[in-house]
Amino acid sequence: MTQPPAWTRGDVAALLPDDTARAWFDEALADAARAAGTPPAAPSPYLAHTWELRFAAAGRHCGHRNADAVRALLLIEARAGLGTLTRLYGYGSAAERRAVLRALPALVEGPHAVHLVEDALRSNDTGLVLAAVGPYAAAHLDAHAWRHAVLKCLFTGVPLDAVARWTHRAAGDGELARMLRDYAAERTAAGRDVPDDLGRVLTLTGEVPKEL
């Protein structure tokens, strides 16, 4: 089951700075809706539908703070499938990739888009890592990849609370506990601090962090 989007059209319209931005937003949604109703044109690797160009330009037209929400609604309005999401992620700037990742729970049922999460987790951009560990990852990332995602957050300073359902997935996970203990030992051996978040996860795995 997909989840309802975090924002409604009305929520986003109310956030936009002025009527020019609201008019741009309305036109972009109409473009996206038209794309949803028409079959794709002859395949061309580089040709982009108008709504996809607006997806890229949303930051400067609607305000960078609102771009994630605007982009998510465009994806929903265009009924973006896996091919479209993969293409927009692939040609996307960091901001566009974050928007695709955040929209996954509302758009993709099942694990088919997990390659996008895995791609983001290979990056070292903490903004992408943070967007990758949301509810979609919680539902679909396999145990090995999920443990590495948690460890990567600890490595790169992404707050643990950004990891969706981490308390649920970490509970009783003995392998995660071993990885965390080893990481803590490595930090301690180097004379470095152990991240506070590490102890929080370790507690949930059933381990006692005092052993660190």
Partner 1 sequence: MRIFDPHIHMTSRTTDDYEAMRAAGVRAVVEPSFWLGQPRTRPASFFDYFDALLGWEPFRAAQYGIAHHCTLALNPKEANDPRCTPVLDALPRYLVKDGVVAVGEIGYDSMTPAEDAALAAQLQLAADHGLPALVHTPHRDKLAGLHRTVDVVNESSLPRERVLLDHLNETTVKDAKDSGCWLGFSVYPDTKMDEDRMVAILRAYGTEKVLVNSAADWGKSDPLKTRKVADAMITAGFGEDAVDQVLWRNPVAFYGLSGRLRLDVPQADGLHEGNSVLRGGE
The amino acid sitting at 43 is P
Residue with Cβ nearer partner 1 (42 or 208): 42
Give the whole-angstrom CA distance, residue 78 versus residue 30. Answer: 9
In this structure, are residues 47 and 73 in contact, taking their beta carbons and an 8 Å threshold? Answer: no
- CB atoms closer than 10 angstroms to residue 76: 21
Q: How far is the CB of 75 from partner 1 (least distance, A)?
A: 17
Name the strand (E) or helix (H) holding 104.
helix 94-107
Q: How far is the CB of 127 from partner 1 (least distance, A)?
A: 4
Q: Which residues contact 197 (CB under 8 A, 6 or more apart)?
A: 153, 154, 159, 160
Give the whole-angstrom CA distance, residue 33 versus residue 108. Answer: 18
In this structure, are residues 96 and 55 in contact, taking their beta carbons and an 8 Å threshold? Answer: yes
Residue with Cβ nearer partner 1 (159 or 174): 159
Q: How far is the CB of 105 from partner 1 (least distance, A)?
A: 17
Through-space distance between the first and last CA atoms of the chain, rounded to whole angstroms? 40
Give the whole-angstrom CA distance, residue 157 versus residue 185. Answer: 18
Residue with Cβ nearer partner 1 (1 or 42): 42
Applying CB under 8 A, the residues found at the interface with partner 1 are 45-46, 48, 52-53, 56-57, 59-60, 64, 67, 91-97, 123-128, 130, 152, 155-159, 162
Q: How far is the CB of 119 from partner 1 (least distance, A)?
A: 11
What is the token pair recorded at 155?
Answer: 């490595």
Residue with Cβ nearer partner 1 (51 or 146): 51
Q: How far is the CB of 138 from partner 1 (least distance, A)?
A: 17
Give the whole-angstrom CA distance, residue 7 versus residue 205. Answer: 34
Q: How far is the CB of 156 from partner 1 (least distance, A)?
A: 4
Residue with Cβ nearer partner 1 (89 or 146): 89
Residue with Cβ nearer partner 1 (90 or 174): 90
